[in-house]
Amino acid sequence: MAEGLRRMIGQAPGLQFELSRKCASDSEAWGYGRAFLDNETVWSAESDAPLKWAWIDLLEFLGRNWPWLCLEQQYPINLNPVRLVDLHDEAERRWADMSDERVEAEDEQLCRFVGRHDLAAAFKGMFVESLMVLRQGAQYEIYSARLERSLWLPKAAVQEALVEVGNTLAEWLGDTSDARADAALAQWRDRETRLRERQVAILSGLSVATLRDLEGDQPSAAFWELPAGDASQSDTELLAAARMSGPALGNADRGYLLEMVRNAPHRTVSTLDDVCTALRDSLALVGPPHEQGYAAANWLRTRLGVDTASGMNVEAWLDDWNIDVREIKRDQMPLDAVAAWGPHHGPMILLNVAQRARPSKPAGRASTLAHEMAHLLLDRDGALPMAEALGGATPAYVEKRANAFAAELLLPRSAAAGWLRKGEGVGRVLRQLRTRFKVSEELAGWQIYNSSAFDTLDADEQALILRKTRFRGDRA
């Protein structure tokens, strides 16, 4: 390798690429390369040596898939795994009872999705381990098959690294007149134009027909309140609300929600911002999502001076933080709540109080508001910088964390365990917890189940808890 032509792209310990040219100029960008994630090699030849290949493959991949690499944030076919590594397993479970024809159609959609997000799919004739890249709000999940784990990185850092890779490979091609090189260069240089053309469809997650129905005669940019500037960094409260609301929402309900968000003024939330800053400074959120949720809820109780023996009036705290909480009543809408926050609207929370919806009951209202409080505290600078829809297509990872946060905030597990140890019987304790903490018996059952006290119960008592929780899976 010519060391003078070697280039390290990206910042440690994030996503990095090491590229070295084989010769000064050729039509296929032959050279050597490796990729790194979290300071560990994820692409290399044997003995950690650089891969020798025609890197025009990667330039073609980046140019072809740029709009989706920058903007796509949803999984296909109504999948919502906690991590990228779980994608195919969740698809297989979904397909277990489907017809072969439906499975074949959905498998094709899944393959297309993987084909535009797995950087390893770039290479024609060379095997490298999967390196999946998927945006989630203001960050990316990067999954390495070699490391068998994911890393979440800031959006700007990932996009800057990919741009520099593309520009470096374009530079390698130089002034060659080869048809393949010309096509690869043209596609790369035209990437932002194609991104802007697809921006609304990808960011909203909606079909062309649905977009046409919603927008009517309005220009698309005006309807969605798109800002001027770099489209790859652009999202709006309206686009995020549409994306998060999921595929099961009808156009009438979706249009209604979008107008509610559009008409909501922006609010100053300096108290909330101060709490978020203090949380980030004092608590490292690591480990499984439910453990992060528990830790954040206990931290907040301490911050607010609410001891574990007392109930939590979430709605009062949201009001103190200047959060706009509104009721809506949409009987056919499969969402319990929609929240939006951003530079132009909110923060606001729309509670669906229709009879079938969880917020129609006092305990359900409290748990829904606590769930949205979690997103306001934990996700505005991360996976959800604009909006969230409870019951929609919000990423599963942050939903698990918010669910755990809400349960622990309303009824700490230590409090549930303490009441059990009084020896008054599980059924009586569930009723007492429901009254004292204003939660459902289902939530109380989950907090007992996830506490240290569950294993001290006899078989009949454990069975009662499992019935209350409608238990269907493994312990959190």
Tell me: the pLDDT tens digits for 191-225?
999 999 999 999 999 999 999 999 999 999 999 99
Q: Based on the fold, state whether residues 389 and 303 are members of the same structural domain.
A: yes
Find the Cα–Cα–Cα–Cα dihedral 404, 406, 411, 415, rounded to 10°: 40
The answer to whether residue 294 sits within a structural domain is: yes
Q: Where are the beta strands (DSSP E) in 166-298?
A: none
Q: What is the pLDDT of residue 301?
A: 98
The residues facing 151 across adjacent strands are 142
The answer to whether residue 404 sits within a structural domain is: no
Q: Based on the fold, state whether residues 280 and 247 are members of the same structural domain.
A: no
Round to whole Å and give the CA distance between 255 and 253.
Answer: 5
Q: Give the DSSP H or E segment for 154.
A: strand 149-154
How many other CB atoms sit within 10 Å of the CB of residue 207?
11
Q: Based on the fold, state whether residues 101 and 181 are members of the same structural domain.
A: yes
Round to whole Å and give the CA distance between 79 and 91.
Answer: 7
Mean pLDDT of 272-278: 98
Q: What is the pLDDT of residue 473?
A: 52
Asked whether the predicted pLDDT for residue 403 surpasses 60, the reply is yes
- Overall number of domains in the chain: 4
For residue 347, whether the previous peptide bond is cis, meaning omega lies within 30 degrees of 0, is yes
Q: Based on the fold, state whether residues 14 and 62 are members of the same structural domain.
A: yes
Q: Which residue from 59, 3, 45, 10 is spatially nearest to 172, judged by alpha carbons?
A: 59
Round to whole Å and give the CA distance between 450 and 258.
Answer: 38
How many other CB atoms sit within 10 Å of the CB of residue 198?
16
Q: Based on the fold, state whether residues 26 and 167 are members of the same structural domain.
A: yes
Q: Based on the fold, state whether residues 223 and 294 are members of the same structural domain.
A: no
Q: Based on the fold, state whether residues 203 and 180 are members of the same structural domain.
A: no
Last residue of a domain, one of 162, 189, 216: 189
Domain holding 109, by residue range, is: 3-189
pLDDT classification of 1: cutoffs 50, 70, 90: very low
Q: Which residue from 62, 61, 64, 92 is spatially nearest to 77, judged by alpha carbons?
A: 92
What are the pLDDT digits (tens) for 98-113?
Answer: 999 999 999 999 999 9
Round to whole Å and give the CA distance between 200 and 189.
Answer: 21
Last residue of a domain, one of 341, 359, 393: 393
Q: Which residue from 345, 370, 390, 340 is spatially nearest to 437, judged by alpha carbons?
A: 370
Q: Where are the beta strands (DSSP E) in 250-336?
A: 324-328
Return all residues near 474 (Cβ < 8 A) that are at least 6 apart: none
Round to whole Å and give the CA distance between 292 and 465.
Answer: 24
Round to whole Å and give the CA distance between 162 and 158.
Answer: 6
DSSP 68: H
Find the Cα–Cα–Cα–Cα dihedral 422, 428, 429, 432, rounded to 10°: -120
**Bridge pairing between strands 324-328 and 348-352:** parallel
The answer to whether residue 261 sits within a structural domain is: no
Mean pLDDT of 80-84: 94
Return all residues near 274 (Cβ < 8 A) that are at least 6 apart: none
Proportion of the chain above pLDDT 90, given as a percent: 88
Proportion of the chain above pLDDT 70, given as a percent: 96
Q: What is the pLDDT of residue 233?
A: 67
Q: What is the pLDDT of residue 27?
A: 72
474 vs 87, higher pLDDT: 87
Asked whether the predicted pLDDT for residue 476 surpasses 60, the reply is no
Q: Based on the fold, state whether residues 245 and 119 are members of the same structural domain.
A: no
Q: Based on the fold, state whether residues 285 and 372 are members of the same structural domain.
A: yes
For residue 76, whether the previous peptide bond is cis, meaning omega lies within 30 degrees of 0, is no
Q: Based on the fold, state whether residues 34 and 134 are members of the same structural domain.
A: yes
| Gap between the terminal Cα atoms of the chain | 51
Round to whole Å and give the CA distance between 279 and 160.
Answer: 28
When computed from its CA atoms, the radius of gyration of the chain, rounded to whole angstroms, is 25
User: Given its phi and psi angles, is residue 38 left (phi above 0), alpha (psi -120 to 50 degrees) or beta?
Assistant: left
Last residue of a domain, one of 393, 422, 442: 393
Buried b (16+ CB within 10 A) or exposed e, 451-465: bebbeebeeebbebb
Round to whole Å and give the CA distance between 137 and 281.
Answer: 21
The answer to whether residue 94 sits within a structural domain is: yes
The answer to whether residue 372 sits within a structural domain is: yes
Please tell me the chain's helix, strand, coil percentages from 3-state DSSP, rounded to the nearest 5: 55, 15, 35
The answer to whether residue 433 sits within a structural domain is: yes
DSSP 226: P
Q: Based on the fold, state whether residues 44 and 179 are members of the same structural domain.
A: yes
User: Residue 262: is it exposed, middle or buried by C-beta count within 10 angstroms (0-12/13-18/19+)?
Assistant: middle
User: Residue 217: is it exposed, middle or buried by C-beta count within 10 angstroms (0-12/13-18/19+)?
Assistant: exposed
DSSP 95: H
Asked whether the predicted pLDDT for residue 3 surpasses 70, the reply is no
The answer to whether residue 406 sits within a structural domain is: no
Which residue matches tokens 């072969």?
Answer: 100
Q: What is the pLDDT of residue 23?
A: 66
- pTM as predicted: 0.91
Which residue matches tokens 């964390």?
Answer: 401
18-22, 251-255, 357-361 — which is least confidently predicted? 18-22
Q: Based on the fold, state whether residues 129 and 204 are members of the same structural domain.
A: no
Contact by Cβ (8 Å): 302, 294: no
Q: What is the pLDDT of residue 24?
A: 60
3-state secondary structure of 326: strand
Asked whether the predicted pLDDT for residue 241 surpasses 50, the reply is yes
pLDDT classification of 471: cutoffs 50, 70, 90: low
The answer to whether residue 475 sits within a structural domain is: no
How many other CB atoms sit within 10 Å of the CB of residue 312?
24
What are the pLDDT digits (tens) for 143-184?
Answer: 999 999 999 999 999 999 999 999 999 999 887 778 999 999
DSSP 48: G
Asked whether the predicted pLDDT for residue 475 surpasses 90, the reply is no
What are the pLDDT digits (tens) for 14-41?
Answer: 999 999 987 666 678 899 999 999 999 9
